[in-house]
Amino acid sequence: MIIHFIAAFSLLSHVVSPVKHSLKLIFIESSGVQDFVGVLWADETELVHCNTNLNKAEPKPNWLKEFMKSNQEHNDLYTQECLHSQHFFKDTLNVLRRSCSQTEGVHTLQRMYGCEWDNETEEVKSFDRYGYDGEDLMEFNQETQTWLISTPCASIVKHKLDNQQIRIADINHYLTNVCSKWLKQYLDYGKYFLQRTDWPSVSLLQKTPSSSVSCHATGFYPDRAVMFWRKDGKKLYQFTDREQIYPNQDRTFQINVVLKLSSVTSEDWSRYDCVFQLSAVKEDIIIKLDQKVIKSNRDYLICTSPEENNDYYLEVFVGFFFVLLIIVLVFIVYKITVDESNQKKDLETLKYSPIAALVLALILCCLTGVHFYKTNTGKQTKHLTQIFTLYTLYKYNLRSVQKLTFGCSM
């Protein structure tokens, strides 16, 4: 839950631009739910993780692990920040709960600091801010080298931080000299991952014929994307819900925008389309509002073929049953062979022959049933006749059964 909150916190703080990159270090401490967690993000990709159970910062991507083998100072700084922040956050959260008269319930303290770099203008913007229960708490002002509070509850914390001159110098050094430099190194060393472009799968979704239509895109990277509905080529601002971007577990993203059909007549459907745009990519993905391409629960229940849902389980069951019948048949044949060698052919053969015939009949019945289920044609009449014939051979010798020619074409 904390990791999902960090991802959402990171996304909401991101300024969408086709030429900006960011490096953000986020720390979160929650009272009563989960202990301290820290994550380093580069362009919305998790690079480094730390928590209460780790005594050091842990790089996540393999390419970053290789990079840090020859750049140990990176891991040393993140480890130092994680260990320092664990103690600071626990103490600060207790101070804030008392200052804000919130000694009961679950409360959360967040910190996010880092930089954004524009690779066209070379402009760098740094930031360091705290939040409490999702609301702004205070922010570091690099010009005055002091903390600016957003609520009186933070006065005690501000006073404490303003008096830590060595700590302020370290923060200012990182924001001014280190952050953008390291960001560029990560973008260069991990460019095949961080600067890749993944195209999404875009679909139109609808729960019922009268409900709104959702235009849903998933699997894209980076997160700098927009999606909207158009009418006659013009972007719609009314009768639509604002798009939201969310992270996927595979480190890609998804977005969804809804069109309310109450404003759309059936004759005007062809005038509407959904547009997906990914930053720094010229081509757009456009899907026309068309009933034929909409995926819905109703379509799934009516149109999905039985093979798509049940074939796997049916074939596993039939396969198991088929193998079992084969084993029984082999045993019977073996017994008959032994009986023949002992000159007990007449009595023993008649004893096992009906069972063998029945087993063969069941095998052919299973195979024919599966074939009939898959093809649903009338070509099985001949096969069913053979099944009935086999079943009536119980009073004959097994050799009579073996001489029957099976004409099943499956």
CATH for 119: 3.30.500.10
User: pLDDT averaged over the chain?
Assistant: 78
- Domain boundary residue among 281, 303, 325? 303
User: What's this model's pTM, rounded to 2 decimal places?
Assistant: 0.60
Q: Does 278 lie in the same domain as 132?
A: no
- 408 inside domain: no
* Amino acid at site 301: L
Q: Does 175 lie in the same domain as 51?
A: yes
- Domain boundary residue among 151, 167, 194? 194
- 92 inside domain: yes
Residue 305 pLDDT more than 50? no
Which range is least confidently modeled, 64-73, 260-269, 326-335? 326-335
In the block, tokens 């095998």 appear at: 363
Residue 67 pLDDT more than 80? yes
- The mean per-residue pLDDT over the stretch 356-383 comes to 54
- 409 inside domain: no
Cα 181 to Cα 21, 124, 336, 369: the distances in Å are 12, 10, 84, 68
Q: Does 174 lie in the same domain as 240?
A: no
Residue 402 pLDDT more than 80? no
- The mean per-residue pLDDT over the stretch 16-25 comes to 75
3-state secondary structure (DSSP) of residue 383 = helix
- 343 inside domain: yes
Cα 107 to Cα 6, 104, 136, 179: the distances in Å are 15, 9, 14, 29
Q: Does 189 lie in the same domain as 252?
A: no
- The mean per-residue pLDDT over the stretch 87-94 comes to 92
Q: Does 325 lie in the same domain as 258?
A: no
We report the CATH number of the domain holding residue 283 as 2.60.40.10
- The mean per-residue pLDDT over the stretch 173-192 comes to 95
Confidence of residue 103 (pLDDT cuts 50, 70, 90): confident
Residue 87 structure tokens:
């103690």
Q: Give the chain's domain count.
A: 3
- Domain boundary residue among 194, 212, 240? 194
Query: Which structural domain range is residue 149 located in?
Result: 2-194
* pLDDT for res 301: 40
Q: Does 9 lie in the same domain as 151?
A: yes
* pLDDT for res 32: 72
Q: Which of 82, 90, 33 is nearest to 53 (CA)?
A: 82
